[in-house]
Amino acid sequence: MIIDFISKVFIVLALIFMFFGVYGIFRFRDFYSRVLISSKVETVGFLTIMAGIMLKTGFGYSTLKILFICLMVIVTNPLSTHAVARSALKSGYKISEENNDD
Amino acid sequence: MKRTFNYVVMIFVFTAMWIILNEKAGPMQIISGIGFSVLSIFFVNYYLLDDDYIDSYFLNPVSLLKYLFYLVFQIYKSGISAIFKISKGESAVKIIKYDSCLNKELAVCLLANAITLTPGTVTIDKTKNQLSILCFQDDEVFSSGSGGKSCSDFEKILRGI
C-alpha cells in the first residue's frame, strides 16, 4: 500500500520534471539552450518514471529488466545529445548570434 | 592472471544479463548463458575489436557503482536547478574549456558521458584530456575547475576506475 503510494509519487514527480522540460523547450528560443533543456526530460524524467514503475511492479525479473534498460539509457543517451549539439556547432551555428536573437 | 579474471567477470555479467532477459535462473539458462557469453567474447575478440581492449576498457565494479550512485545524485541536483533556470527564462549559453586531471582515455570519456547526462551541460568536443562543454552562462560547476588545478568529485571517483 505504502510502496504503491510512493511509486505514484515518483511517477507524478517524473511528469512534473517532464512538464518543465517540455515547457523549457517551448520557452527558450535558441537552439543550444533547447538542447541543454531537452537532456533534462530525457534523463531526470525518464529515470524517475522508471523508478516509479520499478516500485510498482515489485522486486522481480521485471524490476531487473527495467534497471537494465536504465543502465543502457545512461550509457547511450548522452551520445545522441552530444551528436546533435556537436553537429550544430560544426555546421557553423554560432552561439552569440543565437543569444542575440532573444 | 588479471586478464583471465577480467574475462571471468565479463562472463559472469553477461550470464546475469542472460538470466534476467530469460526471467528464469534454472541450470539450462545458466549453462546456455555461460555458453553464449564465451561465444560472444570470442566473436568480439576475433572479428570486431583488437584483443587488447580487455586491459584498456575494463572497469573496476566498485568504482563503477560509486560513479553510478554519484551520477544519479548529480542528475537530480542539476535537474532541480534547471527547473529554476526554465522558470526564470535564463537561456544564455556559453562554451567553456575544461582541463580534466584524469589521464586514462576511458575515464575522460566517462567524465564526458557524465557531463552530458547531467541536465544543463553537454560535452561538445574532446582533445586528449581537455573537454569543450556547452553550459548555461551562470553555470560555475566546471568553469571553476578549469585549468586542471583541482579535481572535481566525479574525477576523484573516476580515478579509481
- Please spell the DSSP secondary structure of B11-74, one letter per residue: HHHHHHHHHHHHT--SHHHHHHHHHHHHHHHHHIIIIIS-TTHHHHS---HHHHHHHHHHHHHH
Residue A102 has pLDDT above 80, yes or no: no
pLDDT for residue A7: 92
| Statement to judge: residues B46 and B75 lie in one domain | no
Q: Does B135 touch chain A (CB under 8 A)?
A: yes
Total-model pTM: 0.79
Q: Of the spans A42-46, B36-40, B143-147, which averages the highest pLDDT?
A: B36-40
Tens digits of residue pLDDT in A46-77? 999 999 999 998 888 889 999 989 888 888 88
Q: Do B69 and B135 reside in the same domain of the chain?
A: yes
B93 in the same domain as B37: no
**Hey, where are the domains in chain A?**
2-101
Q: Answer yes or no: is pLDDT of B127 > 90.
A: no
How far is the C-alpha of A62 from the C-alpha of A85, rounded, in Å? 34
Average model confidence (pLDDT) for chain B? 82
Domain that holds residue B150: 61-159
Q: What band does A96 get if pLDDT is binned at 50, 70 and 90?
A: low
Residue B143 CA to chain centroid, in angstroms?
A: 21
Query: pLDDT value at position B55?
Result: 66
Q: Determine the average pLDDT of the residues in B113-124.
A: 86
Judge whether A94 is closer than 8 Å to chain B, CB to CB.
no
- Which DSSP state fits A81? H
* CB of B21 less than 8 A from some CB of A: yes
Residue B51's pLDDT is what?
Answer: 63
Task: For residue B142, name the pLDDT band (cuts at 50, 70, 90).
Answer: low
Are residues A72 and A47 in contact, defined by beta-carbon separation less than 8 angstroms? Answer: no
Whether A36 and B135 have beta carbons less than 8 Å apart is answered as: yes
**In chain A, % of residues over pLDDT 90:** 24
Reported as a single tens digit per residue, the pLDDT across B21-73 is 998 889 999 999 999 999 998 888 888 876 667 666 777 778 888 888 888 88
Residues of A in contact with B85 (CB under 8 A): 24
Residue type, A42: E
Residue B72's pLDDT is 87
**Count of domains observed in chain B:** 2
Give the domain-ending residue among B56, B72, B99. B56
